[in-house]
Chain A
Amino acid sequence: MPVITYRQALNETLRQEMHRDPNVMLMGEEIGVFEGSYKVTAGLLQEFGAKRVLDTPIAEEGFVGMAAGAAMIGLRPVVEIMTINFSLLAIDQMVNHAAKIHYMFGGQAKVPMVLRTPGGGGVQLAATHSQNFEVWYAYVPGLKVVAPSTPHDARGLLRSAIRDDDPVVFLENLALYNTKGDVPDEADDGDYTIPIGKATIARAGSDLTLIAYSRMAVLAMDIARRLEAEEGLSIEVIDLRSLRPLDRPTIIESVKKTGRAVVIEEGWLTYGIGAEIAATIQEHAFDYLDAPVKRVAGVEVPLPYAKVLERAALPNDKHLIKAIREALYGTRS
């Protein structure tokens, strides 16, 4: 199986989908001549031309709405927002329009668009450039939100998102672009897709369920492997893959088996994804729990610039190991 980066997986999938369907086109700031702030769209302008790789002005609300409108009569725009922080400028078009059009007009128009955007912090971009707003979108019925953690999943979910007839927010992460992973051979399973709305058990285990998505799923897998090697722990890792719809059955079944759960996210704790998952577990698997559900999340502060402060504010291996120990052995006071 070839090993490629997350960035390559996205780039190749965009290229393949544009070859497959002439209605698929890209728009966003600096995605053409500049090849994308994070080079995800490198080479695509040369290959497909300016009609299908559209450099837009700095006008997030305008071009996200333009994509939604174009989708209403059959285009399948894949929009890049440079980072999720800037997507707030377009949130009216996503939440009040793209998410509503199919339902509010009685199913008469579809909005098959994808909004690709990276979140995440850790590279000293400070408070306005390091945030995680996927939960804002995951809150909204009518949107679908996916958050792949590996090149394999990035490819399969991007295909599903582009071929889906609803608006899909496709969450990337700045720290994942250079990560590498296996993808199937073209000849083997070149056109695989990953279903939206389904989580995956990335690693089976029996002592505790660890739930994560995007970059935190990578961290979760590292820690699960480490604790197995060092302490003989058997940790089941659920990679959510989709934040809306949320795959509650997979989470509930796993926790019924292990009796313990830790959920980790890069965003802030209060009202976060972890809150939703903890609530789901207590509603549906309360009698199976041997310990309270532990949540690991970002410290609730505008992310500071200084390295030492930034490190203290972002969830890392230490926070996660501490939470796992508390879920397994109780809180030491």
Chain B
Amino acid sequence: MTKTANVEPATLSLAVSNDPVENTAYITDFSNDDPAELRSIYRMMLLTRRFEERTGEMYTKAKIGGYCHLNLGEEATVVGLMSALKPEDYIFTNYREHGYILARGVEPGRIMAELFGKDTGVSRGRGGSMHLFDIERHFMGGYAIVGGQIPLATGVAFALRYHEQPGVVICQMGDGTTNIGAWHESLNMAKLYKLPIIFYVVNNGYGMGLKVENGSAEPELYRKGCAFRMHGERVNGKDPIAVRNAVQRLRLMAQDDGEPAILEAVSYRFRGHSVVDPARYRDEEEVRRGREDDPVLRFAQNLLDAGILTDEIMKTMAEAIEQEVAAAIDFANSSPDPQIEDLFTYMYASPVANMPGPEDALEAARIARGEF
């Protein structure tokens, strides 16, 4: 006999929970902040916005292949986090990661070139949109298997602890990822071994189309660490300063006290799951409200009100960013494709007998040219 549970799905408010972090308002008191840093946060949010808008455009022009997921609407969630990190920190992300690697200081041209599949791309054209990487800046990869990055990030935190090195690991993921086994296994080990890691959950309300509360029996995701006695907080992901402040605090706990934590940033994506998703599963009113509260515009207004930005600075900044993104597209366009002769390059780090080599790649290149 089948019993149907008569339970209404809990509705998840996009407003910030009062418990355990009481902070529903946007931070507008910037008296303790360096104005230059605030301007640089705004600048990076704007760069992310423009980079992503143009990326969507390039996708529709078929310059970009495969899947492509944008950070539009999540600029504060992205830049707030990244502005709190130190050079010695490491970051792992999911496949919606363009903004994170931009904010880590990687040249936009090399990122766009990767999206275009060029040899000058950050992953040398082997990864694409979902697999951006930069070892020098400790950007440890976008990962496209949901949850795949969680054990790996936990491993880097383990190695930091093993070598008693400073720094923490950020493991970024979406809300739906907190339902996967790797999440539970990794949280358990992170707490067990006192690893310096923050599990950064971007809750934009939906997996692809599945609402958070229809996928997670505990829809307040920051509470999901309770089985591991792990600290969790929820923060307004539309406020870069709230996010930054929370990360700075949790970062110190993780690094100095070996206390890993969950930080849930409540956010909203302006478009569908990926560039090709029309997002018909969201009702119009919700999307209107979500977009109306635009994190880039709101932060700009708050900085204008505080006298930290002026219309003139904003105008100059916007023009410079327009050019920067245009230059990135030009760089990607004019960059060379990878050589077929390098098909097997990077397959193994230690060469061994009988692995495919340059001769096999030459053969592949000849066949590709129809020379057989």
Contacts and interface: CB of A to CB of B under 8 A. Distances in A.
Contacts of A62: 151, 154, 182, 185-186, 188-189
Nearest to B157: A69
A333 interface: no
A23 to B, nearest CB: 9
Contacts of B154: 62, 65-66, 69
Nearest to A109: B135
A110, A166, A248 pick with most chain B CB within 10 angstroms: A166
Contact of B347 (A66, A102, A108, A109): A102
A75 interface: yes
A65 B350 contact: no
A165 B354 contact: no
B148 A96 contact: yes
Classify chain B: how many residues form its interface, as a range.
35 or more
B290 interface: no
Interface stretch (A35-43, A129-137, A177-185, A195-203): A195-203
Interface string B133-146: 11100001101010
A65 B123 contact: no
Contacts of B126: 103-106
B349 interface: yes
Interface of B: 90, 92, 121-127, 131, 133-135, 140-141, 143, 145, 148, 150-160, 162, 181-182, 185-186, 188-189, 192, 345-350, 352-356
A142 B350 contact: no
Contacts, number: 164
Interface of A: 25, 51, 56-57, 59, 61-75, 92-93, 96-97, 101-112, 141-142, 144, 164-166, 195-198, 242, 245-249
Nearest to B150: A65
A134 to B, nearest CB: 17
Contacts of A102: 346-349
Contacts of A107: 124, 345-346, 349
A286 B122 CA distance: 46
Contact of A73 (B90, B148, B185): B90
A67 B154 CA distance: 9
B182 A61 contact: yes
A69 B131 contact: no
Nearest to A66: B155
Given A69-B159, A70-B158, A141 B347 contact: yes
B354 A198 contact: yes
A67 B90 CA distance: 16
Given A62-B185, A92-B145, A195 B127 contact: no
Contact of B152 (A56, A72, A75): A72
A65 B159 contact: no
A298 B367 CA distance: 38
Contact of A25 (B134, B141, B162): B162
A249 B151 contact: no
Contacts of A142: 347-348
A140 to B, nearest CB: 11
A268 B284 CA distance: 55
Contacts of A247: 353-354
B151 A68 contact: yes
A65 B150 CA distance: 8
